[in-house]
Amino acid sequence: MNTTQITTAQRIKAIVGGSVGNLVEWYDWYAYAAFAIYFSNSFFPDSDLNAQLMNTAGIFAVGFLMRPIGGWIFGSIADKIGRKKAMTLSVLLMSFGSLLIALTPTYKTIGILAPALLLIARLLQGLSVGGEYGVSATYLSEMASENRRGFYSSFQYVTLIGGQLIALGIQLILQKLLLTETQLEEWGWRIPFVIGALLSVIALYLRANLHETEAFENKKEVSDKKKGTVTELLKHPKALLTVIGLTLGGTLAFYTYTTYMQKFLVNTVHLTKEQSTLISFISLFIFACLQPVFGALSDKIGRRPLLLGFGILGTLCTVPLLTALSTTTSMWTAFFLIMAALIIVSGYTSINAVVKAELFPSEIRALGVGLPYALTVAIFGGTAEYVALWFKQAGTEQYFYWYITGCILFSLIVYAGMKDTKDNSSLDKD
């Protein structure tokens, strides 16, 4: 059957199944970032907080280095044997990584083995989440109706942000209601990783009952030599380079204002851990709600105007916003500055998945979306926190603000030169 025969109920089931699995994967991924301020001293013996955070951020960045491999492996699986099977395997791997972090003894107990096991767990999670993005972006884009692709695919970032919200929500509950700071640092930080492993079972069930996409089914007769191979992918150099340029500024801005921001508020703005968690939670909740709004807007006016809006405003406003944020003493001023930044970033986050999916034919779509994206995120998004802390330690934190600006400017040049994928979509050829 063709896509016009897919019912609304099937589309909703696809969004729920694809998105909930995505939410669990990203919850597990972000739990590490959210609780790093509590478990860093359990794995690294240095008494200096900034040094401990740098070590923890270093392992966070190394996890990102596995993402291109995950994008390649799971992208190939999705293009060769199906989007559904690839998404099911990725959530299983993430579950195992979370369980390993939850059960790893501290440095005081097993010495150097503790950070080594933390590294292994992070590598497994990086492999998993690297595959998750490309496959779920492809799945949601392919299951959407032609005139609502921006809206449907925006739910990938709703659940991506939602994963972080759940991690922060659990952190707030543990901080304010259940545990003392000492208990959180001694053993309480393990709780979110146990929860993540359990949530994966629910995601696994939902994904096992998903429909495969018509775009994949319609290309079953295509030779396996053309499906999900790097050789075939390299025949689309313009699309590959577009994904890299499209992603570069957006991913750096996204990770700066989400995962790194909590530490920035504690380390630079000198708010309490509880205040920074609360600001992060409220701002991210609003940010998540904005994604479908921006996605639906792109279905009306096109993808390119939103990308240009992010590129222009991001280039002009990043240094003023972060400079003002670094000098404020007010919790609510900090919130409004972060919120302004997240509204700007929404021009990228809400539609980047569908834009990438619209660039590639279905036989290499998951690989084409996942691999160049994961490479770019590994180099720029995954290192954002580490680079920021390095500049801070060197006493030149403001250089980081200019670094972000330069990367967004590079992406803006790409946005200005590309066609609007809404009107030139490979998805229409499926």
How confident is the model over 362-415, as pLDDT tens digits? 889 999 999 999 899 888 987 888 899 899 889 898 999 999 999 999 999 999
pLDDT digits (tens, 9 = 90+) for 250-304: 999 999 998 788 888 988 888 988 888 889 889 999 999 999 999 999 999 999 9
Using pLDDT thresholds of 50, 70 and 90, give the confidence band for residue 48.
low
Fold of 13-210+228-417: Growth Hormone; Chain: A; (1.20.1250)
Is residue 213 within 8 A of residue 143, CB to CB? The reply is yes
pLDDT in the model for residue 1? 36
Which range among 9-13, 47-51, 91-95, 343-347 shows the weakest confidence by mean pLDDT? Answer: 47-51
Query: For residue 111, what is the DSSP state?
Result: T
Look up tokens 């979370």; give the residue. Answer: 98
Other beta carbons within 10 Å of 229: 17
pLDDT digits (tens, 9 = 90+) for 181-207: 888 888 898 999 999 888 888 888 888
Average pLDDT over all residues of the chain:
87
Phi-psi region of 57 (alpha: psi -120 to 50; beta: other; left: phi over 0): alpha
- For the chain, what percent of residues have pLDDT higher than 70? 94
pLDDT in the model for residue 340? 97
pLDDT digits (tens, 9 = 90+) for 105-163: 888 888 888 888 888 888 888 898 888 888 988 988 888 888 889 998 898 889 888 88
220 has pLDDT over 80: no
User: Token digits for 93?
Assistant: 């791997």
Radius of gyration of the chain (CA): 20
Which range among 74-83, 165-174, 206-215, 418-427 shows the weakest confidence by mean pLDDT? Answer: 206-215
pLDDT in the model for residue 5? 60
Is residue 271 within 8 A of residue 327, CB to CB? The reply is no
Rounded to two decimals, what is the model's pTM? Answer: 0.84
Could you tell me the residue ranges of all domains in the chain? 13-210+228-417
Q: Please tell me the distance from the alpha carbon of residue 279 to that of residue 289, in angstroms, as a whole number.
A: 16
Of 139, 160, 149, 147, nearest to 211 by C-alpha is 139
